[in-house]
Chains A and B, each alone.
Chain A
Amino acid sequence: MTPATSTHCPYCALQCAMTLTPDVGGVTVAGRAFPTNRGGLCKKGWTSAELLSSPERILEPMLRQPDGTFAPASWEEALDLVAGRLAAGRAEHGADSVGVFGGGGLTNEKAYQLGKFARLALGSSRIDYNGRFCMSSAAAAGNRAFGLDRGLPFRVEDLGAARTILILGSNVAQTMPPFIAHLDGARKAGGLIVVDPRRTATARLTDDGAGMHIQPTPGSDLVLLLGLINIVISERLVDTDYVARRTVGFDALRRSVGRWWTERVQEHTGVPVWQLRELARRLAEGPGTYILTGRGVEQHADGTDTATAAINLSLILGLVGTEHSGYGTLTGQGNGQGGREHGQKCDQLPGYRKITDPAARAHVAGVWGVHPDSLPGQGLPAVELLAAMGEPGGIRCLLVHGSNVVVSAPNADRVRAGIAALDFLVVCDFFFSETAALADVVLPVTQWAEEEGTMTSLEGRVIRRRRAVDAPAGVRSELWIFRELARRLDAPGVYSANPAEVFDELCRASAGGTADYSGLSYGLLDTDEPAYWPYPAGSTGTPRLFLDRFAHADGLARIVAVQARSTDAPAQVGGTLTLITGRLLEHYQSGTQTRRVAELLTARPEARAQLHPATADRLGIADGGWLELSSERGTVRCRAEASADIRADTVFLPFHFAGDECANLLTDDVTDPISGMPEFKKTTVRVRALQEAGARA
């Protein structure tokens, strides 16, 4: 009997606990009791082990040949080649000609080591990661308001006691299904409120008196929130004592929302006045109100301001930093939280420190054993980093870890063109993702069940990922790869391939920072005692943040007045519609993994563009028929799904698919000026029916 291993799901930030038991022909997955998932798993979790033995797995380093095909090579050969090319590129074009692109699925250890590797071994400032496309707006808003960004500054199970939960732009019932058990209390109290242009599975949880679904036109979230703030203020629902004790900036907020009286908000959002008032009053009713934001409201060129407005609403209602209420953002990727704390971001050093802060540089340089001046400065956020590929003075060599940028980045064709212009692309992955397929070198790496490490969940809880099975013989962990490359590059500093040692170093590097892990160790985490950061040495961690003070020097939260920029929506005539993108239950991110699980692919084999039957009818598109969506940047061809669940002015495409069905062929790479978040959720497209025959070239 092989021993069972306690670990967590490889996919989303809920990090459901699971037990893996190797048996004949594979690994058996079972749910395990844990506060976030209470023993349950979704379809993705149940089928996750299938990928360990996938026939498509890459089992040796692969080098592109002159004829364009790939051929296997030894690690020695591959690493020598990579190190040689990186060193030559750096010598010829400068350190910043080498870029590094990370991912929110990497363990804390890998994310940390990646940042260190980029800055010390490569000497490059040009590192960023795909979390820029996920959490950057909420993170920027949280840092600005609270002085600290932990997605949920409370425990997931705290939600169970709430009477009212407002979910803005998140379809948790499909993206992290076991989460919805925590909504039961609010549903029983009739207080689950879901804001989404689609009547999603999550919106349906409000049916039968469980709450209210609010269906605004895409891109109007900021106006909606400013309108709610206006109602809360004008109906005297503000927690004035809390505002006075714990915040600054209220007066400017009050004046700034004066222009968003309720009827005007209706005019811009399509949400009727009575719903707005009912919602605002319900939020203020207490006891126990949570406001949660997701990518639907954050993935916009005004995403930081929109998240800020949600925070402002929470602050004036006195929700944040209490035992019973709060504001949070629902982190998406498996280590989307930890991945944004330890140095993968272009402006950041471990411990959520700013790379521009001299004290932070001195501390981290000390831990790394180098002079602070040897650390590069601030780099470029993801969209700019990718746009710099092949540009003069831009990126000529790129390393990609845990990301599939030609599917997941906006304006996908431009990214593909940028990659084509690179001198050298190295991708670490398990499979030939669409990005790996373009690489010069592909290095096969371990999957979650084959490695040790830590992840930090959406509630800021640091948990252990444990090895259940051995990796295939030719596969290596990224930590080993960094060590081997660093050695070949004569890099300063130490690069351990042992996750526990890397974690200890990470903890030291984070000491005194915002995300302080210095009191943690594998020994402590292995006791399965809950460990929420900040967890400075000598403490027992912080399940609930901000109970006494916020993280700014004066302990007060910042209410930052924000304004909606006026945008004239295009006339929706002919086939002009607003495109929003999002996820399906069966798939995860760019689909590199889930499109290789038979059960998931069978259930959702292709992208379907969801549009309203009245719109489909008007455009002559049949349910299940072929259609074409086009923007100034690209064209998608796929089948239609007619559904009255979506607004008539909106079309939805899942972003898990590649090729002709890649939603990001259409999206724009315009970004939020503060967070660098692209505009994913408000793209003007033209939609037309395609003839059945030869619909797809």
Chain B
Amino acid sequence: MPVPERIVLVGYGPVGARFVEELLPLVRDGRAGLTVVGAEAADAYNRVLIAEYAVGHANRDDLEITDTSQALDAGVRLLTGTSVTQVNRSRRTVSLGTGEQLPYDRLVLATGARANVPTLDGVKRLRRDVMMPAADAAALDSAEAPLPRGVTALRDLDDAHTVLAAVQAARRIVVLGAGVLGMEIALAAANAGAEASVVYHGDIPMGRNLDRGGGAVLARNARRAGVTMINHSRAESLLFHQDDDGVARFDALVCADGKQIHGDLLLLSCGVGARRELAHLAGLPVSTGILVDEDLRSWNDPDIYAIGDCAHVAPKPAAGASSALPSGGPSGLVGPGWRQADWLAARFAAEIRGSDSTAGLAPQRSNVVMLKAEGIDVVAAGDIGPEPWDAEGPQAHTGDCPSAPLSVSQWADPEHGRYVKMVTRGGILEGFVCVGMPRTAAELTLLFERGSELPADRSVLLRFDGPDYVPTAGGDAFAPDATVCWCNGVTVGAITDSAGAGNATVACIGAATRAGTGCGGCKTRIGEILTHFAQ
């Protein structure tokens, strides 16, 4: 029996949990010993639903996404509520907050991300310096967030409980930031009866994901849903009032133009940043995340891997190449993280069992962003900047082959809250925005993700959501080729021909053509047809 490979996973969020599930066969076979260290006390939960949980639309057990007991039964050692203070690469151990030293053969970092706290007068902001000592890095994650009373981010269960209390009291909620999460929470809070406003810098909400048209239609739709949308607003400071116990509590957000937005709760929704301090302190290269190559392996330590929101996948530069850090970074979406978890577990299994190595991790197409809100449909992906009348830029080249020009098709109906933009190259989507047209959005998503060719007549894609959507031009129930009797495949034409030959009753038609002699469900219609053509 070979000695089990010692695998240590740091982080037990959705991506960590998925990695554990996929690795279980190896653990059960005794080929790997797996220890999981998670900072939060709770089992892994589904952060994607945190906004719904925070407004009471989802319950706590809806967030469960893994069966921890299965992992424990398989022999996984699970240390929740435990922090990792240091990675000792030379000894290949990690130090735990408990003082324990855990040896590893392979270390997987799935430390995730935390909410960004913007610079605001009145909010103490811990400096997110990569050179920060480990103890402070841990403090960043501690349950006692260094935020004033009435101010919260929305990342973990504690944050969600704060928001839920405000929503349940139907309080005024001010959301700073109009990204996906900000919009989701504002729409959900309004839907749940709270008074919600969204304050954001730019012209449109979801500015990173939407173009002007899509953003404008979303803003309009959000206003109709009862959310106050406050754009072009740079938040500068906070005003406080004293609670009964003398502690300062959030009162209003003050913007650069002097405008004050009052509320009972300020929800900071200003994006997330990877938890990469542990890696950086251990001397691993980091940028916006922990830098790993296409095999999810750290650029400079072959025994350390990173997956999920903390990982920045980029090709390792050749020796002597420019030291500039690569662009891009973690996607912030769970789908790509799960793909990484699945793939890495399969790769480990193949390597440890000595079977054929698995294929490389297919590069992720640009991510699809979908707003989760009842009644408001927004989906966007890829490059959505180009406009229909943009001048033809210098022809893009891929290697020696000139690629096809970009083309843009657009449909805007702001009055009815609908907007679609399709950016294609050679008939294939490079990006799209779709607001207020759910079936179209679903189809565009499939087309985009697969890299499939669009119909030349793009308007085909706009008709799915129409009230008249009946794909076949079968509107005329008396058209000669319309089928009347499905059991016997008899058309209107066959019935009228038979009637013309003297069969004047439903029974005669049935005897002559068999129409109506199956389930009998069409007999009424046969009667109608006879009447119609007798006139």
A40 touches B519 (CB 8 A): yes
B520 touches A648 (CB 8 A): no
Q: For the complex, give the distance between the alpha carbons of A259 and B64 in Å.
A: 9
- Chain B CB within 8 A of A130 CB: no
Q: Which of A173-181, A368-376, A686-694 contacts B (4 or more CB under 8 A)?
A: A173-181
- Chain A CB within 8 A of B409 CB: no
Contact with B along A242-268 (1 / 0, CB 8 A): 000000000110111011011110110
- Chain B CB within 8 A of A76 CB: no
- Chain B CB within 8 A of A614 CB: yes
- Chain A CB within 8 A of B450 CB: yes
Q: For the complex, give the distance between the alpha carbons of A256 and B239 in Å.
A: 45
Residues of chain B with a CB closer than 8 A to A571's CB: 428, 450-452
Q: Distance in Å from the Cβ of A540 to the closest Cβ of chain B?
A: 29
B487 touches A42 (CB 8 A): yes
Q: Which of A181, A234, A649 contacts B519 (CB 8 A)?
A: A181
- Chain A CB within 8 A of B481 CB: no
Q: Which of A271-279, A430-438, A656-664 contacts B (4 or more CB under 8 A)?
A: A271-279
Q: For the complex, give the distance between the alpha carbons of A691 and B241 in Å.
A: 80
- Chain B CB within 8 A of A568 CB: yes
Q: Which residue of B lies closest to A277 (CB)?
A: B374
Q: For the complex, give the distance between the alpha carbons of A275 and B442 in Å.
A: 11
Q: Which residue of B lies closest to A604 (CB)?
A: B489
- Chain A CB within 8 A of B460 CB: yes
Q: Which residue of A lies closest to B448 (CB)?
A: A267
Q: Which of B63, B65, B442, B472 contacts A266 (CB 8 A)?
A: B442
Q: Distance in Å from the Cβ of A673 to the closest Cβ of chain B?
A: 15
- Contacts A255-B64, A255-B67, A271-B442; A178 near B519 (Cβ below 8 A): yes
- Chain A CB within 8 A of B191 CB: no
- Chain B CB within 8 A of A349 CB: no
Residues of chain A with a CB closer than 8 A to B339's CB: 566
Interface size grouping (class) on chain A: 35 or more
A585 touches B486 (CB 8 A): yes
Q: Distance in Å from the Cβ of A604 to the closest Cβ of chain B?
A: 9
Q: Distance in Å from the Cβ of A650 to the closest Cβ of chain B?
A: 11
Q: For the complex, give the distance between the alpha carbons of A669 and B516 in Å.
A: 40
- Chain B CB within 8 A of A270 CB: yes
B64 touches A573 (CB 8 A): no
Q: For the complex, give the distance between the alpha carbons of A261 and B169 in Å.
A: 27
Q: For the complex, give the distance between the alpha carbons of A648 and B428 in Å.
A: 14
- Chain B CB within 8 A of A24 CB: no
A207 touches B362 (CB 8 A): no
B470 touches A272 (CB 8 A): no
A234 touches B58 (CB 8 A): yes
Q: For the complex, give the distance between the alpha carbons of A184 and B521 in Å.
A: 8
Residues of chain A with a CB closer than 8 A to B111's CB: none
Contact with A along B446-472 (1 / 0, CB 8 A): 110111110111001000000000111
Residues of chain A with a CB closer than 8 A to B514's CB: 43, 46
- Chain B CB within 8 A of A71 CB: no
- Chain B CB within 8 A of A603 CB: yes
Residues of chain B with a CB closer than 8 A to A31's CB: 517
- Chain A CB within 8 A of B497 CB: no
Residues of chain A with a CB closer than 8 A to B338's CB: 259
B46 touches A648 (CB 8 A): no
Q: For the complex, give the distance between the alpha carbons of A252 and B438 in Å.
A: 31
Contact with A along B412-445 (1 / 0, CB 8 A): 0000000000000001100000000011011101
- Which residues of B, 466-493, contact A by the 8 Å Cβ criterion? 470-473, 483, 486-489
B438 touches A38 (CB 8 A): no
- Contacts A177-B486, A258-B64, A259-B338; A269 near B442 (Cβ below 8 A): yes
B64 touches A263 (CB 8 A): no
- Which residues of B, 66-103, contact A by the 8 Å Cβ criterion? 66-67
- Chain B CB within 8 A of A569 CB: yes
Q: For the complex, give the distance between the alpha carbons of A569 and B460 in Å.
A: 22
13 further contact pairs, Cβ within 8 A, besides A43-B487, A256-B67: A38-B519, A177-B518, A217-B446, A233-B62, A258-B63, A263-B372, A266-B445, A573-B427, A603-B489, A614-B455, A618-B427, A644-B473, A648-B460
**Which residues of A are in contact with B by a Cβ distance under 8 Å?**
31, 37-43, 46, 173-174, 177-181, 184, 199, 201, 207, 217, 233-234, 236, 251-252, 254-256, 258-259, 261-264, 266-267, 269-275, 566, 568-574, 576, 585-586, 603, 614-615, 617-618, 643-645, 648-649
Cross-chain pairs A/B with CB under 8 angstroms, 28 sampled: A41-B487, A42-B487, A173-B486, A177-B487, A177-B518, A178-B518, A180-B521, A233-B62, A251-B67, A258-B65, A259-B14, A259-B18, A261-B48, A261-B372, A262-B372, A264-B335, A266-B445, A267-B368, A267-B446, A267-B449, A272-B438, A273-B438, A274-B438, A571-B452, A573-B452, A573-B453, A644-B471, A648-B443
